[in-house]
């Protein structure tokens, strides 16, 4: 619920468990008062007062700068005396930077409008309410509308900003962030995600010191390296207790997320498009809309933040018709064959896969142009009939006749220098005049800020998708953007390239999903370099990492699940020893770990050891038994493995608490330890549960029974087992 208390000049935004408050000082300046546990009434205006200064520049005009220096602006602007990180910087027609926003008006609406050209959350009129606060800089004649949408049930508030140039001049935006949050706590710690190729989204946590700390991307994609997310906690916060603020961005390009502790120990979190690589010409009468930021708060620990984000994305962000469906269990030929395949090989994979219960064959990279290696043909989306003998339709028909669906890989945003496309249109590659383009994986990036390039991509993909019964697409992107120049953008708009690239991508994805509404779309970027909330608006799943080793996946999937529902994480059982790290793990552990994602296979099923192959039907049975729980349930992180306690554990609990699945993965054996007791979470303490999973210990044919409070208080008993062993425990209420 959103209210404005005229008398106190306070906006109060309430969700089920939280309250967010802002106040108007002098009827002009919008400041942040509070975000935290739900409060009864609007109040707390004293938050704006300091010892030195009264809370109003009207009362002490000679010290307006002092007021600006200490005021917790909701949307701080540059150049006028707030020396913290600003959210908005505008250059006027003389190239000078200053902007001071004053409140003009506000309105409250049921529901939530979409954001033009950008992915954004949505909700019905009775699910979400939106507050629009109009601010203005009278000198620039710029209007800034702050948008706050309140998702009561999920304890989420989303924000975005529209900047309108109401003057006769042309201005330049050099920064336009999406949100700012000022938090005042004695000591805080920052949680971020970092990584590299094959090591995405590992969790970092450290004290927030004075000064600025930031994570960002300037690669044209969200990146393997850093993530558009900040978690702010107190030192006492654990998985299941304590305060946590979470902030993330619905955006797939260059972002920045900044945390700053100022001289008064006030933390300012800001998030938005990365200003380092952004400059936007805002002509008279034009508007600029920022991406959306998602905020949540809980005093129930980090796990609750994750559950809020998961619920929110499942209900209000992911649009795919597959969201609440079991995904077809696929086998992907990448790690099975790499580029070395043909129709016969694919059909042999399909036949064997069908026997084991697999439901879809995905043909990965190497089916087009003359591509037998990664140094050619990107952009030439024409079937290579030397490999795909008989053509694509023949292959797909055969696969369908075997009883499998068919999926295909594309890398639409790219072009190989050795391609017909590049030879015909060298100017279509992103590049800076007179400089050679730095290659990565022997490829260039297409300038999808251009409509002609987007049309070419859309037409090429459509032609392939219309030529056969293709039900799934893996949309890949295997290099970052560099040399950010476009041959079509005018010189005073070259600084717009990165954002326009992301907008171009969204336009393409929108066209594709509109033209092929039943397509199952899996995003990918050299593994998981574009795993973000923006992409999930278009496709329900993202390939989490090129590292398919079950042990490496524990940390990668844990970090990913910090923000994203398990049903979004592309996860496959791959061969042993693993291609990326050479580790030998058990087939059981590979299956159990992949089960907590979309689930599928990525190996040569015709050449794998028989005893491993024999386990596939049970793994598939588990998927069908448990996927609804994994996809729709509440996720609890129970234990993260480390050197001293080398096991990992998590669980999912159905919303009605009638069912739970615990996954336990022992990375290394623990010599001398007889067993562990693992306390569970999220069960009904008053409920009685029966353990009936494949790893249930059955005594005299009886199903073991446990009380919910005992399972959570004392824990379940797990016998010591060897390296790379894993267990699945399924509980159902009696
Ligand atoms: C990327 C993907 C892989 C595979 C290859 C193909 O690395 O992450 O899964 O599709 O490209 O070139």
Using one digit for the tens of pLDDT, what is the confidence trace for 107-124?
Answer: 999 999 999 999 999 999
Ligand 1 atom 11: residue of nearest CA: 526
Using one digit for the tens of pLDDT, what is the confidence trace for 586-608?
Answer: 999 999 999 999 999 999 999 99
Instruction: Let me know if 695 is a catalytic residue.
Output: no
- pLDDT at position 316, please? 98
Residues with Cβ within 8 Å of 546's Cβ and at least 6 positions away in sequence, in order, are 197, 198, 526, 527, 528, 580
Instruction: Let me know if 643 is a catalytic residue.
Output: no
Using one digit for the tens of pLDDT, what is the confidence trace for 12-60?
Answer: 999 999 999 999 999 999 999 999 999 999 999 998 887 666 678 898 8
CA nearest to 378, candidates 486, 461, 462? 461
Pocket test for ligand 1, best of 546, 569, 598, 603 (most atoms within 8 A of CB): 546
Mean pLDDT confidence for 493-502: 98
The DSSP bridge pattern shows strands 156-165 and 171-184 to be: unpaired
Q: Is the pTM of this model over 0.85?
A: yes
Please state, for a pLDDT cut of 70, what percent of the chain lies above it: 98
Strands annotated E in 200-265: 202-207, 211-216, 229-233, 244-250, 255-261
- pLDDT at position 124, please? 98
Residue 675 exposure: Cα atoms within 13 Å on the Cβ side: 7
Confidence band for 697, pLDDT divided at 50, 70 and 90:
low
Q: Is the dihedral of CA 558, 223, 591, 324 positive or negative?
A: positive
- pLDDT at position 55, please? 75
Using one digit for the tens of pLDDT, what is the confidence trace for 705-715?
Answer: 999 999 999 99
Confidence band for 579, pLDDT divided at 50, 70 and 90:
very high
Q: Which helix (H) or strand (E) holds 732?
A: strand 725-733
DSSP H helices, 633-723, are: 708-713
Q: Which tokens belong to 662?
A: 């615990």
CA end-to-end distance (rounded Å), the chain: 38
Residue 23, strand partner residues? 10, 31
Active-site residue, from 155, 380, 532, 546:
546
Give, to the nearest 10 degrees, the angle between helix 451-466 and helix 497-515: 30
Ligand 1 atom 12: residue of nearest CA: 365
CA nearest to 550, candidates 497, 492, 619, 500? 619
pLDDT at 235 over 80: yes
Mean pLDDT confidence for 637-658: 95
pLDDT at 101 over 60: yes
Cα(228)–Cα(309) distance, rounded to whole angstroms?
A: 14
**480, 223 contact by CB (below 8 A):** yes
Using one digit for the tens of pLDDT, what is the confidence trace for 460-496?
Answer: 999 999 999 999 999 999 999 999 999 999 999 999 9
- pLDDT at position 52, please? 63
| Helix (H/G/I), strand (E/B), else coil: 218 | coil
Q: Which helix (H) or strand (E) holds 322?
A: none
- pLDDT at position 545, please? 98
Q: What is the DSSP letter of 699?
A: B
Ligand 1 binding residues, C-beta < 6 A: 334, 364-365, 409, 476, 478, 524, 526-527, 543, 546
Residue 251 exposure: Cα atoms within 13 Å on the Cβ side: 35
- The pLDDT mean for the chain works out to 96
pLDDT at 698 over 60: no
Q: Which tokens belong to 701?
A: 């044919």
- pLDDT at position 49, please? 81
**259, 190 contact by CB (below 8 A):** yes
Cα(209)–Cα(512) distance, rounded to whole angstroms?
A: 45
Cα(299)–Cα(187) distance, rounded to whole angstroms?
A: 15
- pLDDT at position 693, please? 73
Q: Which tokens belong to 42?
A: 């609007």
Ligand 1 atom 1: residue of nearest CA: 526
């Amino acid at each position: 619920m959103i209210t404005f208390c005229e008398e106190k000049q306070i906006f109060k935004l309430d969700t089920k468990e939280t309250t967010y408050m802002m106040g108007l000082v002098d009827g002009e300046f919008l400041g942040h008062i509070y975000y935290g546990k739900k409060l009864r009434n609007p109040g707390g205006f004293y938050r704006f007062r300091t010892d030195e200064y009264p809370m109003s520049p009207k009362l002490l005009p000679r010290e307006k700068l002092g007021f600006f220096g200490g005021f917790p602006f909701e949307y701080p602007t540059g150049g006028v005396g707030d020396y913290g990180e600003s959210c908005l910087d505008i250059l006027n027609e003389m190239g000078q930077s200053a902007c001071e926003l004053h409140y003009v008006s506000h309105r409250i609406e049921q529901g939530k409008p979409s954001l033009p050209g950008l992915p954004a959350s949505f909700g019905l009129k009775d699910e979400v309410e939106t507050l629009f606060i109009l601010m203005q800089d009278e000198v620039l004649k710029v209007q800034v509308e702050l948008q706050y949408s309140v998702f009561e049930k999920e304890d989420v508030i989303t924000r975005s900003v529209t900047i309108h140039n109401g003057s006769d001049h042309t201005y330049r935006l050099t920064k336009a962030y999406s949100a700012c949050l000022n938090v005042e706590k004695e000591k805080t710690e920052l949680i971020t995600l970092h990584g590299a190729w094959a090591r995405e989204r590992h969790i970092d946590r450290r004290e927030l010191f004075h000064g600025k700390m930031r994570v960002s991307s300037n690669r044209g994609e969200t990146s393997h390296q850093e993530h558009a997310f900040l978690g702010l906690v107190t030192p006492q916060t654990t998985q299941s207790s304590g305060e946590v603020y979470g902030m993330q961005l619905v955006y797939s390009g260059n972002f920045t997320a900044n945390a700053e502790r100022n001289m008064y120990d006030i933390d300012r979190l800001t998030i938005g498009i990365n200003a380092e690589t952004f400059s936007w010409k805002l002509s008279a009468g034009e508007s600029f809309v920022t991406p959306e930021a998602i905020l949540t708060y809980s005093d129930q620990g980090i796990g609750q933040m994750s559950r809020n984000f998961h619920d929110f994305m499942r209900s209000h962000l992911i649009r795919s018709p597959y969201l609440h469906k079991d995904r077809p269990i696929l086998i992907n030929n990448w790690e099975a064959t790499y580029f070395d395949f043909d129709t016969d090989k694919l059909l042999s994979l399909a036949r064997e896969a069908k026997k084991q219960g697999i439901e879809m064959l995905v043909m990965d990279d190497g089916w087009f142009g003359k591509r037998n290696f990664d140094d050619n043909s990107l952009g030439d989306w024409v079937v290579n009939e030397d490999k795909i003998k008989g053509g694509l339709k023949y292959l797909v028909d055969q696969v369908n006749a075997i009883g499998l669906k068919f999926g295909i890989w594309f890398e639409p945003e790219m072009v190989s220098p050795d391609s017909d496309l590049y030879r015909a249109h060298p100017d279509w590659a992103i590049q800076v005049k007179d400089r050679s383009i730095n290659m990565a994986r022997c490829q260039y990036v297409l300038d999808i800020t251009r409509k002609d390039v987007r049309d070419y991509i859309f037409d090429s993909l459509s032609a392939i998708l219309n030529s056969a019964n293709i039900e799934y697409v893996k949309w890949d992107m295997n290099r970052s953007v560099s040399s950010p120049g476009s041959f079509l953008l005018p010189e005073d708009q070259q600084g717009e390239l990165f954002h326009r690239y992301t907008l171009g991508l969204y336009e393409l994805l929108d066209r594709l999903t509109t033209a092929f509404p039943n397509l199952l779309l899996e995003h990918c970027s050299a593994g998981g370099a574009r795993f973000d909330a923006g992409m999930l608006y278009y496709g329900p799943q993202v390939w989490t990492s090129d590292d398919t080793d079950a042990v490496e996946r524990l940390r990668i999937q844990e970090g990913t699940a910090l923000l994203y529902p398990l049903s979004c994480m592309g996860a496959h059982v791959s061969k042993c020893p693993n291609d990326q790290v050479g580790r030998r793990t058990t087939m059981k552990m590979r299956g159990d770990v992949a089960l907590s994602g979309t689930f599928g296979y990525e190996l040569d099923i015709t050449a794998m050891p028989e005893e491993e192959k024999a386990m596939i039907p049970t793994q598939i049975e588990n998927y069908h038994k448990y996927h609804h729980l994994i996809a729709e349930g509440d996720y609890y992180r129970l234990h993260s493995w480390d050197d001293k306690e080398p096991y990992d554990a998590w669980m999912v609990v159905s919303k009605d608490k009638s069912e739970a699945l615990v996954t336990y993965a022992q990375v290394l054996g623990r010599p001398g330890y007889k067993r562990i007791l693992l306390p569970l979470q999220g069960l009904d303490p008053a409920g009685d549960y029966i353990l009936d999973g494949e790893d249930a210990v059955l005594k005299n044919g009886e199903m073991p029974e446990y009380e919910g409070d005992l399972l959570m208080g004392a824990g379940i008993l797990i016998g010591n087992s060897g390296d790379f062993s894993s267990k699945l425990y399924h509980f159902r209420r009696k």
